[in-house]
A and B are shown apart, each in its own frame.
Chain A
Amino acid sequence: EIVLTQSPGTLSLSPGERATLSCRASQSVSSRYLAWYQQKPGQAPRLLIYGASSRTSGIPDRFSGSGSGTDFTLTISRLEPEDFAVYYCQQYGSSPRTFGQGTKVEI
């Protein structure tokens, strides 16, 4: 099983600032099958990024993903008030599909 470790656990930032979230895998993620999800309280997760760097339709371009192998990054270039949420990475190249423990981006 691939274990994903996200850091930091909590990121305290202000609107307009840049957020950099890390996701490290215990072994190489096949074919860059790494996704990022955003979850707000009381809501289902929302897919932001798949294939490590491809934005899902409708996701603003301030969200970008990068990385390969075992190290991946989600960057939010300029935080908007609606971006404060919990972010999860997930690998889907091998079974079982696993999620990281999440990074909370708070004001």
Chain B
Amino acid sequence: EVQLVESGGGLVQPGGSLRLSCAGSGFRFSSYWMHWVRQVPGKGLVWVSRTDTDGSSTTYVDSVKGRFTISRDNAKNTLYLEMNSLRAEDTAVYYCAREYVLLIGANRYYHGMDVWGQGTTVTVSS
């Protein structure tokens, strides 16, 4: 069964740090781009970050740049999100998701995020 399972969420004080993990199974983890998306309960989805297949290329939404770091360990089939200098507005459910990106020459062809984890909750509060 193709599956993504997040862990590492919890309660942290403002200014604190947390590392989220996302374990993939049932598919070739190293062949997929990986994303983090967050959602405040009752609100909409916000894309946070993504990494390519080997972690050499990463991008972030402006609100987390310089504070969050996405990384992956393909040997462990695991994606990470290191979150520092946490703020109350970072409180959300964090989902990881995979995306197949086809490379043909210098061109990339994206396919959307087709498998998602169940989410892990991060609460930033004193």
Contact = CB atoms under 8 A, between A and B. Distances in A.
Chain B binds chain A = yes
Interface of A: 33, 35, 37, 39, 44-47, 49-51, 56, 88, 90, 92-93, 95-102
B95 A101 contact: no
Contact of A47 (B47, B95, B112, B117): B112
A47 B113 contact: yes
B114 interface: yes
A99 B118 contact: no
A50 B62 contact: no
Contacts of A102: 44-45
A47 B114 CA distance: 5
A27 to B, nearest CB: 17
Contacts of B50: 97
B114 A92 contact: no
Contact of B116 (A46, A92, A93, A99): A46
Contact of A99 (B44, B110, B117): B44
The 9 A-B pairs with the shortest beta carbon distances in the complex, nearest first, are A50-B112, A44-B116, A35-B112, A97-B47, A99-B45, A96-B61, A47-B114, A95-B59, A101-B44
14 contacts: A33-B110, A35-B113, A44-B116, A44-B118, A51-B111, A56-B112, A88-B44, A88-B45, A90-B45, A90-B47, A92-B110, A92-B112, A96-B60, A96-B62
B46 interface: yes
Contacts of A56: 112, 114
Contacts, number: 56
Interface of B: 35, 37, 44-47, 50, 59-62, 95, 99, 110-114, 116-119
Contact of A44 (B35, B60, B95): B95
Contacts of B35: 97
B111 A37 contact: no
A99 B117 CA distance: 18
Contacts of A37: 45, 113
Contacts of A100: 44
